[in-house]
Amino acid sequence: MTSDSPVYFHDPGSWFNSQEGVEISYSALDWVEITMVAPIAEKMRESRLRWYGHIMRRDENHPVRRALSIPERPKGRSRPPATWWSNVQNEIRKQNIEPQTTRSRTLWRKCTRRPDPK
């Protein structure tokens, strides 16, 4: 059986505009611009650093602060896994932030906040 009408295949990264009969393709970067939100990787970094600041402002005897001093278990021969702590340390080193900055909440927020694109 044959048909003279065109057949449209739907791509998962595209939307079909039925009024104009045109398929519009959006990439992940297009969605960032359309929704006006910063990329997820930047928001995850911001969240990690925000939590680090929260922990460091806690009392030394608080369970969360004491958990940071628990020694890690010995690693195997392969590459060590990326942990929350190693990611935080890398971010602080990359952004050249002093650990004492965590004491001032407003200054810490200024150093770590990632604005959404306008």
pLDDT tens digits for range 27-81: 766 766 777 777 778 888 888 999 999 998 888 899 888 888 877 777 778 887 7
Flag whether 94 is in a domain: yes
Q: Are residues 48 and 23 in the same domain?
A: no
Judge contact between 112 and 31, C-beta under 8 A.
Answer: no
Flag whether 87 is in a domain: yes
CA 112 to chain centre: 12
Q: Are residues 50 and 100 in the same domain?
A: yes
CA 17 to chain centre: 32
Q: So what's the pLDDT on residue 98? A: 87
Residue 101 and residue 32: Cα distance in Å, rounded? 31
pLDDT (mean) for 77-88: 84
Q: Are residues 60 and 97 in the same domain?
A: yes
Q: What is the DSSP letter of 83?
A: -
Q: How many domains does the chain have?
A: 2
DSSP, collapsed to helix, strand or coil, labels residue 65 as helix
Q: Are residues 12 and 67 in the same domain?
A: no
Residue 101 and residue 90: Cα distance in Å, rounded? 16
Q: Tell me which residue range forms the domain holding 29.
A: 8-37
Q: Are residues 27 and 49 in the same domain?
A: no
Q: So what's the pLDDT on residue 12? A: 56
Mean pLDDT of all residues belonging to the chain: 76
Q: So what's the pLDDT on residue 23? A: 55
Residues 6+ apart with CB under 8 A from 81: none
